[in-house]
A and B are shown apart, each in its own frame.
Chain A
Amino acid sequence: MATHNLTRVVTGLAKKNLPACLLKRTSINSFVVTKRHATHFKFYPDPPPIDCGPTEKMNLFQSLTSAMDISLSSDPTTLVFGEDVAFGGVFRCTVDLKEKYGQDRVFNTPLCEQGIAGFAIGAAVAGSTVVAEMQFADYIFPAFDQIVNEAAKYRYRSGGLFECGKLTIRSPCGVVGHGGLYHSQTPEAHFAHAAGLKIVIPRSPIQAKGLLLACVRDDNPCLFFEPKILYRAAEEDVPVGDYTLPLGKAEVVRLGHDVTMIGYGTQVHVLKEVAEMAHDELGISCEVIDLVTITPWDEEAVCKSAAKTGRVIVSHESSLTGGFAAEIASTIQKECFLNLEAPVERVCGYDTPFPHILEPYFIPDKWRCFEAVKNVTNY
């Protein structure tokens, strides 16, 4: 799929009268796209997985709908809820599910994230499969206590008498071109510190469906952060049937031998483009790894690649300090110290809040990553 122009995406939304998806607590009228600029990445679609049956062209939000549809139809205890979920969700991820499965299974909740998380945990403890939506990852923090102190620790504190493994919390995250402080964040690092959670971030519609179904069926509470810029910008031929993809397994999405680049979500596409640039302009061969699962993460795959190339770049949109790249870099230096030819480079958002009009300067775009490739190879 060709590069999407931001304004085209937004216009597309407006035509469907869905600008609400871009704003939660600001009025729609106050939101005006004043300047066009290209999206910061090129989406690289994957071929459909083999042996997963017939496929249909789906974008990422449609592939998520398909996953939830399968969960609702195959498991009578499945509940899907959150703010504005009943009419299809502000990002359209739950379209028609209420009509199909009834209001007692697909429903709106009051506007209260700690309530959504607490209610979801309780329903899961009582035996329901739960797919709860936090409308934006930026607004998940009122639920932090419920997720970190309750969901993550339920099994541990009761010795397995009670647990909420049937819980999955979905939430749109990440850079979108114009989200500013409160419609852009990816809070994976905040939650990665809480043992007991699985945190997953997909990069494509095929992955999103298979991973969401894996999270729903995994016997541990999962946080599923969906890069919202991919909801419409990413299209693939997605299997219409039921399939899952493994959690805790990284994926090598491009083989190479000079430099290892590690990312997840949208950033994988940035890194893939950088790998092309490095190849074309510098003659450098880059291996690109999609971490897929933030916790528990695939140390083996990462260290194997790092040991092979000796030069590693870890990149994510979230801020540098305390970001998950630090965890990865730290493990690499311990496990692959003698293999390293250069210090592990982190290319991340700066240690500032997420800025609105200054976003192009904040994000770890292809030019900053490209420079990092030069740095690690010239060290």
Chain B
Amino acid sequence: MSVGRFINCAAIKAAYVSAFRQTFHGAAISAVRYKSTTPQSEDQLGMKIIGGPRSFINKLEFLEPKLEDAIPIYRVYDTEGKILDGTQDPKLSEDVLHQMYHSMIMLNTMDEVMYSAQRQGRISFYMTNYGEEASHIGSAAALDKRDLVFGQYREAGVLVWRGFTLDEFMDQCYANVNDPAAGKQMPVHYGSRDLNFVTISSPLATQMPQASGAAYALKRTHPGLCVICYFGEGAASEGDAHAAFNFAATLDAPCLFFCRNNGYAISTPAHEQYRGDGIAARGSGYGMITIRIDGNDVLAVYNATKKARQIAIEESRPVLIEAMTYRVGHHSTSDDSTAYRAKEEIEEWTSGDNPINRFKFYLINERQCWDEERDKALAAECKKQVLKAFTAAEKRKKPSPSLLFTDVYDDLPPNLVKQRQEMVDHLGKYSKHYPLDDHEPV
């Protein structure tokens, strides 16, 4: 094949742009889709244009992004839980609603207990999910439990919804003998094969192109399923985010990119993270269908994720969801966020736009299926269960030091066999200098 032919091959990929508007749940969505069905396009002069059709103008004009064109935020109920447009209420059964609410309260309770445990020095680290409960539970509830989840690290609610037990959470945070990863990772790096939740890793955005690849693989082997990839607006600045969007779009991968725009990447506020209209505005640049939603409105999150899932699977394409929310807690237990944001700001979000309260108002006022008495009982029951699991996990031994060498490869290569023996011999001589009593035997 000649070089000239190679260039022509590229020309064959020339695409045309068709813009269309689609209404979904009342929210207008602009979408630009690139199709590779036509070999090439021609302008008025008959020139072949590579990369899609373009029109020409004779006036020197630059495009200026305009704030008034900012993508609107889709919401179902207001901050008092009042439905804004009846057609948008998904009218979920009381059972499902209660399960969602229960999951949010359980997540919140677990955060309280574990945060305190870290402050008391009983675990090494923790990250709370305060303020983002609705984005976790609303999206998780809209998925098929077989859909594969690639999380960032602040999506414990998705696991709560899928049935990760309190013992499993606690065993991981305590890095005890029941942790499947043998305590190799810091707390909150959960994973579950049974629940199709890929184990969390600390590097930011690395999960994103992996989600694109996994979605591509799933499309071939398990049609009807998709991948959801969670990430923050800070992670969206990483190169991997760009790679993920572009690969999923060009390779038609059924992947839901769920951005939790919670306003902060540790201390860096969103306005120092990007110019332009947030993360959602990037969607059309990649030819991705996109929506911006109220991340503190669990029903808006549910509706958007459910519809996005349908689009991703039926049309074999990625969908970008930007959920606007607020990180009420500190970044992690290693952070004190009052060093960079006002207490009043946090308070405003805690009381004014609290995702749990908003949902509770909806349950009480719109659905009449909840009351304060049941609320108190639920809180007490959650606390009891969390403390029980917490105490049990704290008592369990730590894993055997020998497990340090497992799971590097599928089996132990000779160098690791040798190094493990060196460690065993060393511990034989210096045992009193190591916390061996806390661990299972070597």
Interface presence of B210 (CB below 8 A): yes
Q: Are A123 and B213 in contact (CB under 8 A)?
A: yes
Q: Is the CB of B181 within 8 A of A158?
A: yes
Range of interface residues on A (Cβ < 8 Å): 35 or more
Is A128's CB within 8 Å of the partner chain B?
yes
Query: With a CB–CB cut-off of 8 A, which chain B residues contact A101?
Result: none
The distance from the CB of A208 to the nearest CB of chain B, in whole angstroms, is 22
Q: Establish whether residues B3 and A150, one from each chain, have CB atoms under 8 Å apart when the complex forms.
A: no
- Please state if A87 and B181 are interface contacts (CB–CB under 8 Å): no
Q: Does A47 contact B (CB under 8 A)?
A: no
Partner of B221, one of A128, A142, A158, A165: A128
Contact with B along A289-311 (1 / 0, CB 8 A): 00000001101100000000000
Which of B3, B184, B210, B408 has a CB less than 8 Å from the CB of A196?
B408
List, in ascending order, chain B residues with CB within 8 A of A122's CB: 150, 209-217, 227
The distance in angstroms between the C-alpha atoms of A225 and B150, with both chains bound, is 30
Residue of A nearest to B205 (CB): A118
Question: What residues on A are CB-neighbors of B212 within 8 Å?
Answer: 115, 118-119, 122
* CB–CB A196/B193 < 8 A: no
Q: What 0/1 readout, one digit per residue, does chain B (194-208) give for beta carbons within 8 Å of chain A?
A: 000011010100101
B209 with A115: CB separation less than 8 A = yes
Chain B residues near A19 (CB-CB < 8 A): 3
A185 at the interface (CB under 8 A from B): no
Contact B213 A126 (CB under 8 A): yes
Q: Are B1 and A158 in contact (CB under 8 A)?
A: no
A159 adjacent to B179 (CB under 8 Å): yes
Instruction: Chain B residues near A198: list those with CB within 8 A.
Output: 409
Q: Give CA–CA (A77, B409) in the complex, Å.
A: 22
Given contacts A114-B240, A127-B221, A220-B410, contact A87 B211 (CB under 8 A): no
Residue contact A77 to B220, C-beta cutoff 8 Å: yes
Task: Name A128's contact: one of B179, B181, B220, B250 (CB within 8 Å).
Answer: B220
A146-B4 Cα distance, complex, nearest whole Å:
35
A366 to B381, CA, bound (A): 77
> A20-B6, A128-B221 are known contacts. Are A300 and B414 too (CB-CB below 8 A)?
yes
Check if B191 is an interface residue, CB within 8 A of chain A.
Answer: yes
Determine whether the beta carbon of B244 is less than 8 Å from that of A118.
yes
**CB < 8 Å neighbour of B191 from A79, A142, A161, A299:** A161
**Cβ-based interface call for A248 (8 A):** yes
Q: Is the CB of A126 within 8 A of B148?
A: yes
Q: Is the CB of A159 within 8 A of B407?
A: yes
Given contacts A118-B210, A159-B407, contact A17 B218 (CB under 8 A): no
B423 within 8 A of A: no
- C-alpha spacing A130/B192, complex, angstroms: 23
Q: Shortest beta-carbon distance, A15 to chain B, in Å?
A: 11
Q: Is the CB of A104 within 8 A of B217?
A: no
Q: Do residues B1 and A79 form an inter-chain contact, with CB atoms below 8 A?
A: no
Interface segment out of the listed A105-113, A171-179, A345-353: A105-113
Contacts of B201 in A (CB 8 A): 149-150, 153, 157
Task: Tell me the A270-300 residues at the B interface (CB within 8 Å).
Answer: 296-297, 299-300
Of B192, B210, B214, the contact of A161 (CB 8 Å cutoff): B192
What residues of chain B lie closer than 8 Å to A112, measured between beta carbons? Answer: 242-243, 246-247
Question: Which chain B residue has the least Cβ–Cβ distance from A113?
Answer: B243
Q: Are B209 and A296 in contact (CB under 8 A)?
A: no
Interface residues of A (CB under 8 A from B): 17-20, 28, 77, 79, 87-88, 104, 107, 109-110, 112, 114-115, 117-128, 130, 142, 145-146, 149-150, 153-163, 165, 195-196, 198, 219-220, 248, 296-297, 299-300
